[in-house]
């Protein structure tokens, strides 16, 4: 797995995964977190409607093997905010987490 940028990772299969429902606001903090906690770790993905962006990339909810919900963690830690520009399953949850952080 590789970290492409603060918003996306590339799996060993070559598939690019963007964090669904998340807009990273603190780029360096996000990169530090991804390098420390995501790189070389087992992850699993959950998908939502419209998750496939094209043949090489998807938007997904990313979970660590120990069930940590990475998308929600990025918001809870203040590294990202909820994406309010589109509809997705956890939009209300992510917005509530963001409001708790403020």
Kindly list the domain boundaries of the chain, sorted by start residue: 2-101
Nearest-angstrom CA–CA distance, 88 and 5: 22
In CATH, 2-101 is 2.40.50.90: yes
Quote the CA–CA distance of 63 and 9 in Å, as a whole number. Answer: 13
Sign of CA dihedral 12, 14, 19, 24: positive
pLDDT tens for the chain, 102 residues: list them. Answer: 999 999 999 999 999 999 999 999 999 999 999 999 999 999 999 999 889 999 999 999 999 999 999 999 999 999 999 999 999 999 999 999 999 998
Backbone phi, psi, residue 93, to 5°: -60, -45
- Please tell me the pTM assigned to this model: 0.94
């Amino acid at each position: 797995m590789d970290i492409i940028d603060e918003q996306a990772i590339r799996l060993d299969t070559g598939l690019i995964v963007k964090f669904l429902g998340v807009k990273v606001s603190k780029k360096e903090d996000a990169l530090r977190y991804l390098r420390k906690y995501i790189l070389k770790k087992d992850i699993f993905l959950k998908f939502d409607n419209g998750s496939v962006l094209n043949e090489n990339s998807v938007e997904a909810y990313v979970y660590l093997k120990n069930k940590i919900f990475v998308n929600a963690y990025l918001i809870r830690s203040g590294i990202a905010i909820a994406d309010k520009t589109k509809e997705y399953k956890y939009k209300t949850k992510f917005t509530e987490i963001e409001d708790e952080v403020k």
